[in-house]
Structures are given as C-alpha cells and as structure tokens.
Chain A
Amino acid sequence: MRKLLSGNEAIAEGALAAGCSFFAGYPITPSSEIMHYMARELPKRGGVFIQAEDELAAVNIVIGASLAGAKAMTATSGPGFSLMQEGIGYAVMVEAPIVVVDVMRVGPATGQATKPAQGDIMQARWGRHGDQYIVSLAPSTPQEAFELTIEAFNIAEELRVPVILLIDEFIAHGREVVVPPKLVTKYRRTVMEGGEEPFNSMNPRIAPPLPELGSGKYLLITGSTHDGWGYRDVHNFETHFNLVKRLRDKIMLNLDRLFMYEAYGNEDPDVLFISYGSTARSVKEAVNELRSRGVKAKLIRLKTLWPIDLELIKRLGGDPKVVIVPEQNLGQLIMDVERIYNPFEYRVIGCNKVGGGIPIYSNELVEEALKVLGSGGKASN
C-alpha cells in the first residue's frame, strides 16, 4: 500500500519492519519525528522507548539494549551526533550491533538547526578516536530511507557493528510517496550457545556470535583491548593488533556486499557526476538534461558512504573529461574521488553549496558541466 511519508517517518517505519524493538533518544531538530514515531508505536508492539537525559546516555542505553539481545536504534542530528561519538566508539570495540540515524543539518556547532546539509559524512566515518571501522548509508528518497533502514539493521546484526544512517533534512522532512516492500528480509543474529570465543572469529569475514547479556552465559564486556574471551589485555602488542585488524577486516572484506550504489546514464561518459543523498536528485535531472543536449553524462550515486569501493567506481566511471562532485558541504566526498581520479591527470571539481536550505539546482550543474567541457576538460596543469 502506498503511503505519503517524510523521510523521518519512513525511517521509523523501516526500523519497525526490520524488527527494531528498542529506541532511546534525545529530541533534536530535524530528527525528532523519528523519536515521536517510535514513542508512539513501540509500546503498542511490546517494544521499549526511553527518552534519555541527553545524547550521551541515549547511545549508551542503546548499546546496553543491543547487548541484551534487542534490535536497538537511536536518532539524532549534528550536535547530538558529536556527543554520541564516544558511545559509538565503544560500540565498535565491544562489537554491539546498533543503528544510529544522523539527520544532517547545517553545522558546525548549532549552525542552522532547521536547514539541510551533508557535512557529517567524514564525522560518521572517522568521528571516534583510534582505529575503527563502521558502515554508513545515505538514502536519497523516503522510499530508500525505508529500505536502507532495514539494510542498516541487517548489516549491524550480521557484522556486529554500529551502522550510521546519514540522511539530510531535505529528505528527512520532505514528504514523498513510499511503497513499503511486501517482503522484508530480516537478519537474526546468531546467539552463542556457549563454548566459543565471543570476540574472535576463525573467518575474518564473519563476526563472532554473541551470547545475550543476562541469559546466564559467560560474557565479559570491556572497551579496553581484550582477547577472544573478553579478558582485558592492555599490555600486549599481538592482542591489540589482532583485535583492531579483525574489527577492520570484518568490514573491509565484506566490501562487495556493503558497497551499494546506483549507476545512471551513458556507459562511457564525458561528464561523470559522483554524488549521494538529496543532492543526487538534482544531479539525475542534470544528467538527463546534458544527455538531451548530446553530452555523454553519468551519475554514480553512492548509497553506501563507507566503506567505498574505489576500484568499482573507477571501473564504472571510465575515462571522463570532467568529474563533478556536488555536495551540500565544502567538499568531503571529493577527497575520496580524488583518490580515484588523480586531480593532476583529471579535471575534478566540487560543486558546493550549503546553508539557508537552498539546494543545488540541476541547471547550475548543467551550466557548470558545459562551462568546464567548453574549456577543454582534462587538466593540463
């Protein structure tokens, strides 16, 4: 049945469809509607909703619920997301599957609370201290917000890792038609029967199963370096190195499954756009417009913002005359793109606009592309 939902509502519905039974959060514009929805719906379904005293508490409550066996999530925006970083780092270390929604607003600091931005993509990736790998996803329509929320829970549960859903205010508050899929694949985490190491795995692609906290099984949990059984070891090189390597490998060795994208347009483009989230909507129209004017154009839209499959993007992107990376920030994803398309060989340009709730319009992208093509394309510096 089709519904008219905002991105925030779609995330909440997606979470419920994925089997989320626990939500803790602290209200903040523009993410509050997710919390409102969960506060209303979870108790009806036997779930638990807690309004925490702040974001620090919210994320830690969610980690506790997750370790006790619940599919748990929280939602926040920029300032709250900054507060949650410590907790997310802890979740990485103790391998607690949680889903954190960050509805991106204009920052830094309080910024413009009601206006959209895409400035948190590097924070989502690297916001914590130490070597840590997470997964972050970026939907570009409410429909996709629904689908990727389910995906976020599945990835979190399967790999025992925090998954961060990055959505911008345009999509979060914009209402569009959503058709929830009839069939939803839900991953159930393997519960350990006992006897195996809960923090070690023979296959580096697979996360070890976890006993539920409070089920009577033996479980030690610590944010300090620990061995396979959870015993603290804050001296030994091997213990630490093997641990962080495994935490990285379980993400990076699953790159083929985690990296989701959409490729749209000509096979071998002259103008290549790489974009994500709401911005990619304008880009899609710009690609249509350029193609109607006889310019070979392509969009690679990233649904997964981390980890990124650089080789695959290069294979899809081919050998363009110009690479344009439109973003609602001052240039973040472009740093990855420049690892694929060396800026000394290729013309790589950002198209950046943020603040005031003014989107990047498709005609601006078309003009930019035509201007650069007219000036010869490939860099000669």
Chain B
Amino acid sequence: MKERSVCLIGSGGQGVVFAATVLANALFAKGLYVAQLQNYGAEVRGGSVMAYVVFSESEVVNPFLNSFNVLIVLHDFNVSSWMKYLEYSNLVIVDDLLVSKNFCRAIKAPLFRKALEIGLAGRENVVALGFLAGLNVVDKDDLKKALMNTRDFEQNAKALEAGYELALQMRLKELQEFSK
C-alpha cells in the first residue's frame, strides 16, 4: 500500500482534531504506521483548525505534506490560509452549508445537514469520518471500534452510519480509485 493521507479543515469546536485522533487510532489498530498532526489556535471555539493523518504500511518518513489524498472542509473560517492544500489535494470534499465559498474541483457534500437531519448537529465531524469509510479510506468497523470508548458512543455510531450511507448514495467515481 502506498502512503496515503487524509486532512480535515474546520473551525474550533467542530471536533476536527477529535476526528483525526479517532481516524489515527482506527488505522493504528489495523497495524499501520500512522502520523497525525494538527494546527490550531489558542481559542476554545472558533479559529482555524486543520488536522491530518498520514498512514502507510512502512514507516512514515516525512509527515509534513502540502497535498492530501482526501481533504474535507467542514467550515470556511479562514480557509484562505489553506488554499494550497485545496489546490493540490486529489479529492476535495466541502460541506455544502457551512462552506459558502466556491472552490473549483471541490465536491459539495451535505455533511452538516446530514448531522442536523439525524438530530445530531455538531457531530458533522463523525459524519465526515463515516463519509471517509464510505470512500474506502478506512474500514467502518475499525472506526466504530475506535469510537467505542468515547462519550455518547451511540450517537457517534449513528453519525458514523449516516456519513457512510451518504458517501454511498453520492456514488463518487473517486470511490473506485480508493478501493484499489
């Protein structure tokens, strides 16, 4: 397996770092080499947050990337500071409600609206994780296991499932690429 990477961008309080942590734990449990890095401000809420996970079957030589296999943008707060990432990443998914700016190549996905729909507004981060599972980036069951010890596991599991379904419904052709 070639080295792969997933990046999440959002606003402080959305659980971007949490999502990256769960993703890293899930991939680690699979026996992979994992590197998780994040960039955030001193704010508890608000402010620009970016977190990513690099994973591979061999040791991660350099975790400092400026392009990713998958990039998910959950909020457009200060997103301009990450324009390079949006430009260079392979698959860019943006939330269709919380990201109002238009980016070329970006695919809009109703991650936040999905969370609203199932009554779990604020869990768009876990919906995004489910979405990644739907893209075959990571195994859904592994994510579920990684979420086991979190608070409100039931709700997280529900959000995860919703995100997974959403990705399948969207039938992205990129899905095929990742399953290779």
Residue positions of A touching B, CB distance < 8 A: 4, 29, 113-115, 170, 173-177, 278, 281-282, 284-285, 288, 356-357, 359-363
Contacts and interface: CB of A to CB of B under 8 A. Distances in A.
A175 B21 contact: yes
Contact of A176 (B25, B35, B41): B35
Contacts of B21: 175
B34 A176 contact: yes
B36 A174 contact: yes
Nearest to B60: A176
B37 interface: yes
B40 interface: yes
Interface string B32-46: 011111111110000
Given A173-B38, A175-B36, A177-B33, A284 B66 contact: no
Contact of A177 (B28, B39, B62, B64): B28
Greatest chain B CB density within 10 A among A174, A278, A356 is at A174
Contact of A359 (B35, B41, B59, B64): B64
A4 B28 contact: yes
B149 interface: no
B122 interface: no
Contacts of A177: 28, 33-34, 59
Nearest to B32: A177
Given A114-B41, A357-B39, A362 B62 contact: yes
B42 A175 contact: no
Contact of A360 (B60, B63, B64): B64
15 contacts: A4-B24, A4-B34, A173-B37, A174-B38, A175-B35, A175-B36, A176-B35, A177-B28, A281-B61, A281-B63, A282-B62, A285-B62, A357-B39, A361-B65, A361-B66
A284 B25 CA distance: 26
B55 to A, nearest CB: 10
A197 B128 CA distance: 66
Given A281-B62, A282-B62, A361-B64, A114 B42 contact: yes
Contacts of A173: 37-38
B33 A174 contact: no
Interface in B122-177: none
Interface in B50-71: 59-66
B179 interface: no
Contact of B81 (A113, A284, A356, A360): A356
Contact of A362 (B40, B41, B64, B81): B64
Contacts of B59: 177
- Chain A binding surface, main DSSP class: mixed
A284 B61 contact: yes
Contacts of B34: 4, 175-177
Contacts of A29: 42
Interface of B: 21, 24-25, 28, 33-42, 59-66, 81
A361 B84 CA distance: 12
Contact of B39 (A115, A175, A360): A115
B82 to A, nearest CB: 10
Contact of B24 (A175, A360, A362): A175
Nearest to B38: A173
A10 B42 CA distance: 23
Contacts of B39: 114-115, 356-357
A285 B61 contact: yes
Given A114-B41, A115-B39, A174 B63 contact: yes
A199 B140 CA distance: 63
Contact of A114 (B25, B40, B81): B40
Nearest 8 CB-CB pairings of A with B: A285-B62, A357-B39, A359-B64, A175-B36, A4-B28, A174-B37, A281-B62, A176-B35
Contacts of B35: 174-176
Most buried by A among B33, B39, B41: B39
Contacts of A176: 33-36, 60, 63
A288 B63 CA distance: 14
Given A170-B37, A175-B21, A177-B33, A113 B42 contact: yes
A29 B38 CA distance: 14
Contact of A288 (B24, B61, B65, B81): B61
B69 to A, nearest CB: 17
A361 B33 CA distance: 21
Nearest to B47: A114
B78 to A, nearest CB: 11
A159 B133 CA distance: 53
Contacts of A360: 64
Contacts of A113: 42
Nearest to B40: A114
B106 to A, nearest CB: 22
A58 to B, nearest CB: 22
A288 B62 CA distance: 11
Nearest to B35: A176
Contacts of B38: 173-174
Contact of B62 (A114, A115, A175, A284): A284
